[in-house]
Protein backbone atom coordinates (compact mmCIF):
# COMPACT_ATOMS: atom_id res chain seq x y z
CA UNK A 1 0.00 0.00 0.00
CA UNK A 2 1.50 3.35 -1.08
CA UNK A 3 0.12 6.35 0.76
CA UNK A 4 0.87 10.04 0.82
CA UNK A 5 0.77 9.89 4.63
CA UNK A 6 1.98 6.69 6.29
CA UNK A 7 0.95 7.87 9.75
CA UNK A 8 -0.62 10.84 11.48
CA UNK A 9 0.14 12.04 14.99
CA UNK A 10 -1.01 14.34 17.74
CA UNK A 11 1.72 15.44 20.15
CA UNK A 12 0.88 15.22 23.88
CA UNK A 13 -2.81 14.78 23.13
CA UNK A 14 -3.53 13.17 26.51
CA UNK A 15 -2.68 14.90 29.77
CA UNK A 16 -0.37 13.53 32.46
CA UNK A 17 -3.41 12.80 34.64
CA UNK A 18 -5.06 10.83 31.84
CA UNK A 19 -1.87 8.84 31.21
CA UNK A 20 -1.51 8.10 34.93
CA UNK A 21 -5.14 6.97 35.07
CA UNK A 22 -4.65 4.52 32.19
CA UNK A 23 -1.44 3.13 33.72
CA UNK A 24 -3.18 2.60 37.06
CA UNK A 25 -6.07 0.76 35.38
CA UNK A 26 -3.72 -1.35 33.26
CA UNK A 27 -1.55 -2.38 36.20
CA UNK A 28 -4.61 -3.25 38.31
CA UNK A 29 -6.00 -5.41 35.50
CA UNK A 30 -2.63 -7.19 35.14
CA UNK A 31 -2.72 -8.05 38.85
CA UNK A 32 -6.33 -9.20 38.55
CA UNK A 33 -5.41 -11.39 35.57
CA UNK A 34 -2.60 -13.03 37.52
CA UNK A 35 -4.93 -13.67 40.44
CA UNK A 36 -7.34 -15.37 38.04
CA UNK A 37 -4.49 -17.57 36.84
CA UNK A 38 -4.34 -15.92 33.42
CA UNK A 39 -1.16 -15.36 31.43
CA UNK A 40 -0.14 -11.71 30.94
CA UNK A 41 2.69 -12.57 28.52
CA UNK A 42 1.83 -11.31 25.06
CA UNK A 43 1.75 -14.07 22.46
CA UNK A 44 4.33 -14.43 19.72
CA UNK A 45 3.43 -14.87 16.08
CA UNK A 46 3.10 -18.63 16.35
CA UNK A 47 0.80 -18.51 19.36
CA UNK A 48 3.50 -19.30 21.94
CA UNK A 49 4.31 -17.05 24.85
CA UNK A 50 7.73 -15.93 26.07
CA UNK A 51 8.09 -18.63 28.71
CA UNK A 52 7.28 -21.51 26.36
CA UNK A 53 9.75 -20.21 23.78
CA UNK A 54 12.57 -19.98 26.31
CA UNK A 55 11.81 -23.46 27.65
CA UNK A 56 12.23 -24.80 24.13
CA UNK A 57 15.96 -24.08 24.39
CA UNK A 58 16.00 -21.42 21.71
CA UNK A 59 18.10 -18.39 22.64
CA UNK A 60 16.39 -15.03 22.34
CA UNK A 61 19.26 -13.47 20.40
CA UNK A 62 18.77 -16.11 17.71
CA UNK A 63 15.08 -15.36 17.39
CA UNK A 64 14.59 -11.62 17.66
CA UNK A 65 14.04 -9.84 14.36
CA UNK A 66 16.79 -7.25 14.68
CA UNK A 67 18.04 -4.34 12.61
CA UNK A 68 16.39 -3.78 9.26
CA UNK A 69 15.31 -7.37 8.70
CA UNK A 70 11.74 -7.93 7.64
CA UNK A 71 9.52 -10.95 8.04
CA UNK A 72 10.02 -11.88 4.39
CA UNK A 73 13.80 -11.94 4.87
CA UNK A 74 13.78 -14.23 7.89
CA UNK A 75 14.20 -17.99 7.58
CA UNK A 76 12.33 -20.42 9.81
CA UNK A 77 9.56 -17.91 10.43
CA UNK A 78 7.66 -20.36 12.60
CA UNK A 79 10.47 -20.21 15.19
CA UNK A 80 10.85 -16.44 15.35
CA UNK A 81 10.60 -14.98 18.85
CA UNK A 82 8.47 -12.03 17.77
CA UNK A 83 7.40 -10.47 21.03
CA UNK A 84 8.30 -10.07 24.70
CA UNK A 85 5.83 -7.80 26.53
CA UNK A 86 3.21 -7.92 29.27
CA UNK A 87 -0.35 -6.90 28.50
CA UNK A 88 -3.81 -6.45 29.94
CA UNK A 89 -7.13 -5.56 28.32
CA UNK A 90 -9.33 -2.58 29.12
CA UNK A 91 -12.87 -1.71 28.08
CA UNK A 92 -13.37 1.78 29.43
CA UNK A 93 -15.83 4.12 27.71
CA UNK A 94 -14.15 7.19 29.15
CA UNK A 95 -10.81 6.28 27.58
CA UNK A 96 -12.50 5.60 24.24
CA UNK A 97 -14.09 9.06 24.45
CA UNK A 98 -10.63 10.60 24.93
CA UNK A 99 -9.04 9.00 21.88
CA UNK A 100 -11.88 8.55 19.35
CA UNK A 101 -11.82 12.20 18.16
CA UNK A 102 -8.12 11.85 17.36
CA UNK A 103 -8.68 8.64 15.39
CA UNK A 104 -11.40 10.25 13.29
CA UNK A 105 -9.27 13.37 12.90
CA UNK A 106 -6.26 11.40 11.68
CA UNK A 107 -8.36 9.35 9.26
CA UNK A 108 -9.65 12.55 7.70
CA UNK A 109 -6.55 14.75 7.89
CA UNK A 110 -4.29 12.06 6.41
CA UNK A 111 -6.76 11.65 3.51
CA UNK A 112 -7.23 7.93 4.16
CA UNK A 113 -10.96 8.15 4.81
CA UNK A 114 -11.11 4.46 5.67
CA UNK A 115 -14.57 3.17 6.51
CA UNK A 116 -14.55 1.76 10.05
CA UNK A 117 -17.24 1.42 12.67
CA UNK A 118 -15.88 -0.47 15.66
CA UNK A 119 -12.82 -0.39 17.96
CA UNK A 120 -11.47 -3.52 19.64
CA UNK A 121 -10.64 -3.76 23.33
CA UNK A 122 -7.86 -1.44 24.50
CA UNK A 123 -4.55 -3.27 24.90
CA UNK A 124 -2.43 -1.90 27.73
CA UNK A 125 1.20 -2.86 27.11
CA UNK A 126 4.16 -2.83 29.46
CA UNK A 127 7.74 -3.06 28.16
CA UNK A 128 10.41 -3.62 30.81
CA UNK A 129 14.16 -3.76 30.22
CA UNK A 130 15.08 -5.82 27.14
CA UNK A 131 11.42 -6.30 26.18
CA UNK A 132 10.38 -5.54 22.60
CA UNK A 133 7.99 -6.26 19.74
CA UNK A 134 9.59 -7.39 16.46
CA UNK A 135 8.51 -6.54 12.92
CA UNK A 136 4.85 -7.24 12.29
CA UNK A 137 1.68 -5.87 10.75
CA UNK A 138 -1.57 -5.63 12.68
CA UNK A 139 -3.75 -6.97 9.91
CA UNK A 140 -5.39 -10.30 10.64
CA UNK A 141 -7.66 -12.58 8.65
CA UNK A 142 -11.24 -11.40 8.54
CA UNK A 143 -12.96 -11.67 11.89
CA UNK A 144 -15.07 -14.85 12.08
CA UNK A 145 -18.71 -14.80 11.03
CA UNK A 146 -21.49 -14.39 13.53
CA UNK A 147 -22.66 -17.63 15.13
CA UNK A 148 -25.84 -18.17 17.11
CA UNK A 149 -24.07 -20.49 19.55
CA UNK A 150 -26.31 -23.41 18.68
CA UNK A 151 -25.63 -24.81 15.22
CA UNK A 152 -21.98 -24.83 14.06
CA UNK A 153 -21.66 -23.62 10.45
CA UNK A 154 -21.39 -26.10 7.61
CA UNK A 155 -23.03 -28.82 9.70
CA UNK A 156 -19.65 -30.12 10.86
CA UNK A 157 -19.24 -32.16 14.01
CA UNK A 158 -17.71 -29.93 16.69
CA UNK A 159 -16.79 -29.97 20.33
CA UNK A 160 -17.25 -26.71 22.21
CA UNK A 161 -15.00 -25.18 24.86
CA UNK A 162 -14.81 -21.76 26.47
CA UNK A 163 -11.51 -20.03 25.80
CA UNK A 164 -10.82 -16.41 26.79
CA UNK A 165 -14.53 -15.88 27.34
CA UNK A 166 -15.28 -17.01 23.78
CA UNK A 167 -16.95 -20.17 22.62
CA UNK A 168 -14.44 -22.08 20.52
CA UNK A 169 -15.59 -24.76 18.12
CA UNK A 170 -13.04 -27.54 17.73
CA UNK A 171 -13.60 -30.19 15.04
CA UNK A 172 -13.75 -33.68 16.45
CA UNK A 173 -10.24 -35.12 16.63
CA UNK A 174 -8.62 -31.70 16.32
CA UNK A 175 -7.82 -30.99 19.95
CA UNK A 176 -4.07 -31.24 19.56
CA UNK A 177 -3.81 -28.91 16.57
CA UNK A 178 -4.51 -25.29 17.37
CA UNK A 179 -4.64 -24.40 13.68
CA UNK A 180 -7.63 -26.70 13.32
CA UNK A 181 -9.68 -24.60 15.71
CA UNK A 182 -12.41 -22.51 14.17
CA UNK A 183 -13.70 -19.55 16.13
CA UNK A 184 -17.10 -18.08 15.43
CA UNK A 185 -17.83 -14.58 16.64
CA UNK A 186 -20.68 -13.95 19.03
CA UNK A 187 -20.13 -10.19 18.76
CA UNK A 188 -22.01 -8.67 15.80
CA UNK A 189 -19.76 -5.61 15.97
CA UNK A 190 -16.72 -7.66 14.92
CA UNK A 191 -18.16 -10.33 12.66
CA UNK A 192 -16.77 -10.37 9.10
CA UNK A 193 -14.59 -7.27 9.64
CA UNK A 194 -10.88 -6.52 9.31
CA UNK A 195 -8.44 -4.21 11.05
CA UNK A 196 -7.96 -0.99 9.10
CA UNK A 197 -6.44 1.53 11.50
CA UNK A 198 -3.96 1.00 14.33
CA UNK A 199 -3.53 3.45 17.18
CA UNK A 200 -0.61 3.67 19.61
CA UNK A 201 -0.47 6.04 22.59
CA UNK A 202 2.72 6.65 24.58
CA UNK A 203 1.89 6.83 28.30
CA UNK A 204 5.44 7.31 29.61
CA UNK A 205 7.65 10.34 30.09
CA UNK A 206 10.55 9.91 27.62
CA UNK A 207 12.99 10.67 30.44
CA UNK A 208 11.86 7.52 32.24
CA UNK A 209 13.00 5.01 29.60
CA UNK A 210 15.48 4.49 26.80
CA UNK A 211 15.05 2.47 23.64
CA UNK A 212 11.53 1.28 22.99
CA UNK A 213 11.33 3.20 19.72
CA UNK A 214 8.42 2.75 17.33
CA UNK A 215 9.82 2.06 13.86
CA UNK A 216 8.07 1.64 10.52
CA UNK A 217 9.02 -0.43 7.48
CA UNK A 218 7.37 1.06 4.40
CA UNK A 219 8.54 -1.77 2.12
CA UNK A 220 11.16 -2.14 -0.62
CA UNK A 221 9.41 0.37 -2.91
CA UNK A 222 10.36 3.13 -0.45
CA UNK A 223 14.10 2.73 -1.21
CA UNK A 224 16.29 4.84 1.12
CA UNK A 225 13.30 6.06 3.10
CA UNK A 226 12.09 2.53 3.77
CA UNK A 227 12.79 2.44 7.53
CA UNK A 228 11.64 5.25 9.76
CA UNK A 229 11.92 5.84 13.52
CA UNK A 230 8.79 7.60 14.71
CA UNK A 231 10.15 10.22 17.10
CA UNK A 232 6.82 12.03 17.23
CA UNK A 233 5.44 9.48 19.69
CA UNK A 234 8.13 10.09 22.34
CA UNK A 235 6.38 12.99 24.14
CA UNK A 236 4.06 11.62 26.79
CA UNK A 237 0.41 11.39 25.76
CA UNK A 238 1.18 11.47 22.04
CA UNK A 239 -1.12 9.52 19.72
CA UNK A 240 -0.01 7.86 16.48
CA UNK A 241 -2.56 6.54 13.97
CA UNK A 242 -1.52 4.47 10.95
CA UNK A 243 -2.96 1.90 8.50
CA UNK A 244 -2.85 -1.56 10.05
CA UNK A 245 -1.09 -3.00 6.99
CA UNK A 246 2.15 -1.09 7.65
CA UNK A 247 4.95 -3.16 9.16
CA UNK A 248 6.28 -1.77 12.44
CA UNK A 249 8.19 -2.74 15.55
CA UNK A 250 9.10 -1.51 19.03
CA UNK A 251 12.84 -1.82 19.62
CA UNK A 252 14.10 -3.31 22.91
CA UNK A 253 13.84 -1.08 25.97
CA UNK A 254 17.35 -0.57 27.36
CA UNK A 255 16.42 1.34 30.52
CA UNK A 256 13.26 1.89 32.57
CA UNK A 257 9.71 0.91 31.60
CA UNK A 258 7.65 1.93 28.58
CA UNK A 259 3.85 1.94 28.92
CA UNK A 260 1.59 2.23 25.89
CA UNK A 261 -2.03 1.81 24.90
CA UNK A 262 -3.00 0.21 21.60
CA UNK A 263 -6.34 -0.12 19.84
CA UNK A 264 -7.41 -1.39 16.41
CA UNK A 265 -10.32 -0.02 14.38
CA UNK A 266 -12.41 -2.47 12.36
CA UNK A 267 -14.46 -2.14 9.20
CA UNK A 268 -15.87 -4.18 6.35
CA UNK A 269 -13.29 -5.77 4.01
CA UNK A 270 -11.89 -3.64 1.18
CA UNK A 271 -13.94 -3.50 -2.00
What predicted TM-score, i.e. pTM, was given to this entire model? 0.77
pLDDT in tens, 18-39: 999 999 999 999 999 999 988 8
| pLDDT at residue number 134 | 82
Is residue 90 within 8 A of residue 30, CB to CB? The reply is no
Residue % of the chain over a pLDDT of 90: 49
51 class by beta-carbon count within 10 Å (0-12 exposed, 13-18 middle, 19+ buried) = exposed
What gap in Å lies between CA 252 and CA 56, rounded to an integer?
22
Is residue 255 within 8 A of residue 136, CB to CB? The reply is no
> Among residues 24, 3, 53, which one has the least CA distance to residue 203?
24
| pLDDT at residue number 31 | 96
pLDDT by residue for the chain (271 residues), tens only, comes to 667 899 999 999 999 999 999 999 999 999 999 999 888 887 555 545 444 444 444 444 444 443 334 444 444 444 445 778 999 999 999 999 999 999 999 999 999 999 999 999 999 999 999 888 888 888 876 776 665 555 555 545 555 555 555 555 554 443 333 333 445 555 677 778 899 999 999 999 999 999 999 999 998 888 778 899 999 999 999 999 999 999 898 988 999 999 999 999 999 988 7
- Domains, the chain, ranges and CATH? 8-144+186-267 (2.60.120.620), 156-183 (no CATH)
| pLDDT at residue number 222 | 83
pLDDT in tens, 122-159: 999 999 998 888 888 888 767 766 655 555 555 455 55
Amino acid sequence: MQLENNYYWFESALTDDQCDHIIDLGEIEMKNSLQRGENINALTGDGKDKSSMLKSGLHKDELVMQGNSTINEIKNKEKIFVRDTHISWLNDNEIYSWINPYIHGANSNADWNFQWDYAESLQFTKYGKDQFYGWHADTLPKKPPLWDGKNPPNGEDYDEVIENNETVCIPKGGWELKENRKKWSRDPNQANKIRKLSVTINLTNPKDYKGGNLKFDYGPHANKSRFHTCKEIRPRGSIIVFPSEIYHQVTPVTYGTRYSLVVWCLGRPWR
